[in-house]
Amino acid sequence: MFDYSAHPELLKGRIILVTGAARGIGAAAAKTYAAHGATVLLLGRTEASLAQVHDEIQAAGHLLPLVIPFDLESTDPAQYHDLATMIERKVGRLDGLLHNASIIGPRTSVEHLPGEDFMQVMHVNVNATFMLTQALLPLLQRSTDASIAFTSSSVGRKGRAQWGAYGVSKFATEGLMQTLADELEGVTSVRANSINPGATRTGMRAQAYPDENPQNNPAPEDIMPVYLYLMGPDSKGINGQALNAQ
């Protein structure tokens, strides 16, 4: 497990947007950020899907999160800029962006992967990530210490058979992170890095490994140290790195 112990008020005064915040790692990250003092923007497909996370943060007495229903699977480029305008109006800036939302698609060979499935996975995991990053960069650049964390995977760092579009999309995610990090280096306060969560007890993991005993894997809450580290001031100067949660 990533070795890091966070101060209870590590993220006090910070505004952090989390995609895929309704469940799994995204929900755990959102609640963890709120527990450490951040104002969290919860982005997910529908308002209803985000309600439980919103209510849990509120019930815990943390700063009230902002719910943002936004479907990365069906939205067009113009909507990303509308989203950025809305966020600017509501909170003025961003100090952190966690790209967590993704879909896995069929586990099959390149030879047999349907083209429409490939394009769908690439759209959500790569195109949407690019468009959201581009739209939100001006808000991140208003911060004196901003962080973008891209969720990657071991199959996005070393190719593996039968991982189809998902593996390709995570290689692209690493490439986007590295390109952006190099562009940001020395010219802005924004940094960009990636996180490989590893085997974690999530719905996506169960979909990929249906015969696996989920209890053998850590819960999303258990892998939060690296997520806290990258969003807080202790990681200032860390840029273009591919980190592992476990």
- CA distance linking residue 10 with residue 7, whole number of Å: 5
- CA distance linking residue 156 with residue 79, whole number of Å: 28
- CA distance linking residue 171 with residue 119, whole number of Å: 15
Positions marked active-site = 166
CB 148 within 8 A of CB 99: yes
Q: Please state the φ and ψ torsions of residue 18, each to the nearest 5 degrees.
A: -120, 120
CA distances from 176 to 36, 129, 228 (A): 28, 9, 22
